[in-house]
Amino acid sequence: MEIELDRGRILGGLEQIWTEWSEWAAGLSDGEWATPSRCPGWTVQDNLAHIVGTERMLQGHSAPEVEVSGEHVRNPAGEGNERWVESMRSLSGPEVAEEFRAVTAERLAELAAMSDEQILAVGWSPVGEVPYLRFMHVRVYDSWLHLEDCREPLGHEPSGGGLPAEMAVAEVTTVAGYVIGKKAGAPDGSRVEVNLTGPVEAVIRVAVDGRAALVDAFDSEPTATLTLSSHDWLALTGGRKDPAPLIEDGSVALAGDLDLARQLAGRLAFTI
């Protein structure tokens, strides 16, 4: 699956998820800002600081020179993320929120001012060398997922769907072959169907013929089927939840080869 480089849609999704973040954060108490999120080692405030740091980095700023540590810091990229987060831990939650509003307003203005040539220029991104606009699609996914990382521990209602959620599902769908074939270990010859029941509805089909690949349809019945909400799909592929309780309580429904389906459901994480 290729992400369509629709400038209006991608930048619109970015504006929507950042607005959603800003409005949600405005009502948080000090205790809520300090609540541990689904991301190991990070509070609710740290998640928002991470987004601030990433956008400052994209403006050309270097991560602050501060000491960082923790089991969740596993590589140079993680260290860079943590340095931004650590640099803002002396701030209050509302102060980080104000930093967020400032940098996202700047970024949206900068993106709007870019020519088509500039925004389609190929360069580094977490998904390889791609057009800058494609990178901004990843930013929607990251921003959306981190908001859910904060909503759930506070007992808040999850996203009700909409453009940013649809884009988050699309982002993970681009790597569904890798997730199902490589990470989850679907065997050669298998056909795996993932049914997302909402709020974003989708059917994701992966066929393994030497290499796992996303397909539009199967030539036979699926070998294994997983049925779950789009929220749980994004949480599991993002490494945010333990799959076992979701399998046991039926939130992730299994069909077909049940042993294979259970294996797949338990090994979906490709990022954290």
Q: What is the pTM of this model?
A: 0.95
CATH T-level topology, domain 175-265: Nonspecific Lipid-transfer Protein; Chain A (3.30.1050)
* Per-residue model confidence as pLDDT tens for the chain (272 residues): 899 999 999 999 999 999 999 999 999 999 999 999 999 999 999 999 999 999 999 999 988 777 766 666 555 566 777 899 999 999 999 999 999 999 999 999 999 999 999 999 999 999 999 999 999 999 999 999 999 999 999 999 999 999 999 999 999 999 999 999 999 999 999 999 999 999 999 999 999 999 999 999 999 999 999 999 999 999 999 999 999 999 999 999 999 999 999 999 999 999 86
- How is residue 228 annotated by DSSP? E
CA dihedral of residues 231, 233, 238, 240 (deg, nearest 10): 60
Residues 6+ apart with CB under 8 A from 155: none
Max Cα–Cα distance, the chain, nearest Å = 58
Confidence at residue 120, expressed as pLDDT on a 0 to 100 scale: 99
Residue 206, Ramachandran bin (φ over 0: left; ψ between -120 and 50: alpha; else beta): beta
Confidence at residue 64, expressed as pLDDT on a 0 to 100 scale: 78
Confidence at residue 73, expressed as pLDDT on a 0 to 100 scale: 53
Q: Which of 231, 221, 224, 272 is nearest to 251 (CA)?
A: 231
Helix (H, G, I), strand (E, B) or coil at 227: strand
So where are the chain's domains?
7-164, 175-265
Q: Show contacts of 216-219: CB within 8 Å, 24+ apart.
A: 218/191, 218/193
Domain 7-164 has CATH 3.80.30.20: no
**Is the CB of residue 39 less than 8 Å from the CB of residue 149?**
yes
Looking up tokens 């509302």 gives 94
CA dihedral of residues 135, 81, 231, 36 (deg, nearest 10): -160
CA angle 37, 41, 47 (to 5 degrees): 50
**Is the CB of residue 228 less than 8 Å from the CB of residue 197?**
yes
